[in-house]
Amino acid sequence: NDERVNESIEKRNTKTNQRIKAEILNDKGKQTTSFVTHDKLFVKIDWPKDLHNVRNVGVAIVKNSGEMVSGDNTFSTNPKELGNSITYETELPLAPGKYTLMIGLFGKTERDVIEFWDQGPEFIIRPQPKDQAQGLTRLNHKWIQSNNRHD
Protein backbone atom coordinates (compact mmCIF):
# COMPACT_ATOMS: atom_id res chain seq x y z
CA ASN A 1 0.00 0.00 0.00
CA ASP A 2 2.87 2.43 0.84
CA GLU A 3 4.40 1.69 -2.58
CA ARG A 4 1.11 2.55 -4.32
CA VAL A 5 0.86 5.82 -2.38
CA ASN A 6 4.52 6.64 -3.20
CA GLU A 7 3.93 5.96 -6.92
CA SER A 8 0.87 8.20 -6.91
CA ILE A 9 2.77 11.00 -5.15
CA GLU A 10 5.76 10.64 -7.48
CA LYS A 11 3.46 10.96 -10.53
CA ARG A 12 1.90 14.12 -9.10
CA ASN A 13 5.35 15.49 -8.23
CA THR A 14 6.31 15.44 -11.90
CA LYS A 15 4.06 18.47 -12.38
CA THR A 16 6.06 21.64 -12.08
CA ASN A 17 5.45 25.30 -11.66
CA GLN A 18 6.43 27.16 -14.81
CA ARG A 19 9.27 28.92 -13.02
CA ILE A 20 10.08 27.03 -9.80
CA LYS A 21 11.68 23.59 -9.65
CA ALA A 22 11.82 21.76 -6.33
CA GLU A 23 13.29 18.41 -5.33
CA ILE A 24 12.51 16.70 -2.03
CA LEU A 25 15.61 14.97 -0.65
CA ASN A 26 16.46 12.90 2.42
CA ASP A 27 19.51 13.35 4.65
CA LYS A 28 21.60 11.28 2.22
CA GLY A 29 20.79 13.63 -0.67
CA LYS A 30 18.55 11.05 -2.35
CA GLN A 31 15.28 12.17 -3.95
CA THR A 32 12.32 10.69 -2.06
CA THR A 33 8.69 11.27 -1.13
CA SER A 34 8.57 9.00 1.92
CA PHE A 35 9.71 9.82 5.46
CA VAL A 36 9.10 8.81 9.06
CA THR A 37 8.49 11.17 11.96
CA HIS A 38 11.60 13.22 12.91
CA ASP A 39 13.45 12.51 9.64
CA LYS A 40 15.30 15.43 8.04
CA LEU A 41 13.74 16.94 4.91
CA PHE A 42 15.71 18.92 2.36
CA VAL A 43 14.02 20.88 -0.43
CA LYS A 44 16.33 22.01 -3.22
CA ILE A 45 14.67 24.98 -4.90
CA ASP A 46 15.80 26.32 -8.28
CA TRP A 47 14.46 29.07 -10.50
CA PRO A 48 15.52 30.51 -13.86
CA LYS A 49 18.33 33.05 -13.93
CA ASP A 50 16.04 35.52 -15.67
CA LEU A 51 13.95 35.88 -12.48
CA HIS A 52 15.81 38.87 -11.07
CA ASN A 53 15.57 40.43 -7.61
CA VAL A 54 14.75 37.20 -5.77
CA ARG A 55 15.84 38.18 -2.26
CA ASN A 56 13.65 35.88 -0.17
CA VAL A 57 12.22 32.38 -0.37
CA GLY A 58 9.42 30.82 1.63
CA VAL A 59 8.43 27.19 2.15
CA ALA A 60 5.23 26.04 3.84
CA ILE A 61 4.24 22.50 4.75
CA VAL A 62 0.51 21.87 4.42
CA LYS A 63 -1.28 18.71 5.59
CA ASN A 64 -3.63 17.16 3.03
CA SER A 65 -6.55 18.22 5.26
CA GLY A 66 -5.62 21.87 4.62
CA GLU A 67 -3.85 22.95 7.83
CA MET A 68 -0.62 24.83 7.34
CA VAL A 69 1.73 23.00 9.69
CA SER A 70 4.73 25.27 9.20
CA GLY A 71 5.68 28.31 7.17
CA ASP A 72 9.30 29.43 7.08
CA ASN A 73 11.07 32.08 5.03
CA THR A 74 14.34 33.93 4.71
CA PHE A 75 13.00 37.42 5.54
CA SER A 76 14.57 37.43 9.00
CA THR A 77 18.01 36.65 7.58
CA ASN A 78 17.99 39.66 5.21
CA PRO A 79 19.80 37.93 2.35
CA LYS A 80 21.08 39.89 -0.61
CA GLU A 81 19.90 38.78 -4.02
CA LEU A 82 20.06 35.00 -4.05
CA GLY A 83 21.44 33.63 -7.34
CA ASN A 84 18.96 31.05 -8.58
CA SER A 85 19.06 28.21 -6.04
CA ILE A 86 18.63 27.57 -2.34
CA THR A 87 18.07 24.51 -0.13
CA TYR A 88 15.62 24.42 2.78
CA GLU A 89 16.35 21.98 5.63
CA THR A 90 14.05 21.00 8.48
CA GLU A 91 13.19 18.15 10.83
CA LEU A 92 9.76 16.56 10.37
CA PRO A 93 8.11 16.14 13.80
CA LEU A 94 4.89 15.37 11.95
CA ALA A 95 2.13 12.82 12.36
CA PRO A 96 1.67 10.20 9.66
CA GLY A 97 -0.15 11.49 6.58
CA LYS A 98 0.20 13.25 3.26
CA TYR A 99 1.71 16.73 2.99
CA THR A 100 2.20 19.32 0.23
CA LEU A 101 4.80 22.06 -0.06
CA MET A 102 3.98 25.66 -0.98
CA ILE A 103 6.96 27.58 -2.28
CA GLY A 104 7.28 31.31 -2.87
CA LEU A 105 9.94 33.57 -4.33
CA PHE A 106 9.87 37.15 -3.07
CA GLY A 107 11.65 40.46 -3.40
CA LYS A 108 12.39 42.66 -0.39
CA THR A 109 8.94 42.23 1.22
CA GLU A 110 6.23 39.58 1.42
CA ARG A 111 4.08 41.77 -0.81
CA ASP A 112 6.70 41.60 -3.56
CA VAL A 113 5.72 38.15 -4.87
CA ILE A 114 7.88 37.16 -7.82
CA GLU A 115 6.61 33.58 -8.20
CA PHE A 116 4.38 31.34 -6.07
CA TRP A 117 3.65 27.59 -6.24
CA ASP A 118 0.67 26.78 -4.02
CA GLN A 119 0.38 23.07 -4.90
CA GLY A 120 4.02 22.03 -4.95
CA PRO A 121 5.63 18.64 -4.42
CA GLU A 122 4.01 16.15 -2.05
CA PHE A 123 5.43 13.71 0.49
CA ILE A 124 4.17 11.27 3.09
CA ILE A 125 5.06 10.51 6.69
CA ARG A 126 4.71 6.75 7.16
CA PRO A 127 3.07 5.43 10.33
CA GLN A 128 5.28 3.74 12.91
CA PRO A 129 3.99 0.77 14.94
CA LYS A 130 4.95 2.21 18.35
CA ASP A 131 3.59 5.73 17.68
CA GLN A 132 0.88 6.29 20.29
CA ALA A 133 0.79 10.10 20.17
CA GLN A 134 -2.15 12.14 18.87
CA GLY A 135 -2.32 15.38 16.89
CA LEU A 136 -0.50 16.98 13.94
CA THR A 137 3.00 16.91 15.44
CA ARG A 138 5.21 14.67 17.49
CA LEU A 139 6.96 16.93 19.98
CA ASN A 140 10.17 15.76 21.60
CA HIS A 141 9.24 15.31 25.25
CA LYS A 142 9.79 13.24 28.36
CA TRP A 143 7.79 12.35 31.46
CA ILE A 144 9.38 13.05 34.84
CA GLN A 145 7.82 11.15 37.69
CA SER A 146 7.79 12.95 41.00
CA ASN A 147 8.32 11.20 44.31
CA ASN A 148 5.28 12.90 45.85
CA ARG A 149 2.26 10.68 46.36
CA HIS A 150 -1.15 12.16 46.99
CA ASP A 151 -3.26 9.65 48.94
**pLDDT tens by residue, 119-137:** 999 999 998 888 777 778 8
Q: What local confidence, expressed as pLDDT, does residue 134 receive? A: 78
φ, ψ dihedrals at 124, nearest 5° = -120, 155
Higher pLDDT, 80 or 144: 144
pLDDT tens per residue across span 3-56: 555 555 554 554 556 789 999 999 999 999 999 999 999 999 999 999 888 999
Of 53, 59, 105, nearest to 80 (Cα)? 53
Question: Which residues, listed in sequence order, are joined to residue 99 by a DSSP beta bridge?
Answer: 63, 123
Distance CA 116, CA 119 (A): 9
pLDDT at 5: 52
Q: Which of 42, 40, 43 is nearest to 20 (CA)?
A: 43
pTM, whole model, 2 decimals? 0.81
Q: For the chain, count helices (H), then strands (E).
A: 1, 9
User: At CA 93, angle to CA 34 and CA 14, rounded to 5?
Assistant: 30
24: nearest Cα among 37, 8, 38, 40: 40
Other beta carbons within 10 Å of 124: 21
% pLDDT > 90, the chain: 62
